[in-house]
Amino acid sequence: DAGVIQSPRHEVTEMGQEVTLRCKPISGHNSLFWYRQTMMRGLELLIYFNNNVPIDDSGMPEDRFSAKMPNASFSTLKIQPSEPRDSAVYFCASSEQGRGYTFGSGTRLTVV
């Protein structure tokens, strides 16, 4: 099993540009979570999906953020337009009915 796969590993973009982060969960896992990690706030939940359906997006900072899960094997997190305060590490995780959570390696986003 390749684990949770995130791309890109690093992204540097200019303020105002659109950024798309991608995630492939572990096959058979029916829940997918997007987290953001910063030094100040630690790990924060942005949004999560069960069976491809968004359940709670209350952690999404503002309308500039959006997430989709078109099928069980793919999810995207989009920021448009990006701002310097969006700079952070974004993690995707998947789980199967409480049998533990597996995290991807993360995407380090820098907005200049």
Partner 1 sequence: KQEVTQIPAALSVPEGENLVLNCSFTDSAIYNLQWFRQDPGKGLTSLLLIQSSQREQTSGRLNASLDKSSGRSTLYIAASQPGDSATYLCAVTLGSGNTPLVFGKGTRLSVIA
Instruction: Catalog residues that contact partner 1 under the rule CB under 8 A.
Output: 30-31, 33, 42-43, 45, 48, 50, 56, 91, 93, 95, 97-106, 108
Task: Tally DSSP H helices, then E strands, for the chain.
Answer: 0, 11
- CB of 96: closest distance to partner 1 in angstroms? 9
Residue corresponding to tokens 């390749």: 2
Nearer to partner 1 (CB atom), residue 71 or residue 97: 97
What token pair was written down for 4? 């949770």
How far apart are the C-alpha atoms of 21 and 6, rounded to whole Å?
Answer: 8
- CB of 89: closest distance to partner 1 in angstroms? 9
Residue 89 CA, distance from chain mean position: 9
Nearer to partner 1 (CB atom), residue 76 or residue 102: 102
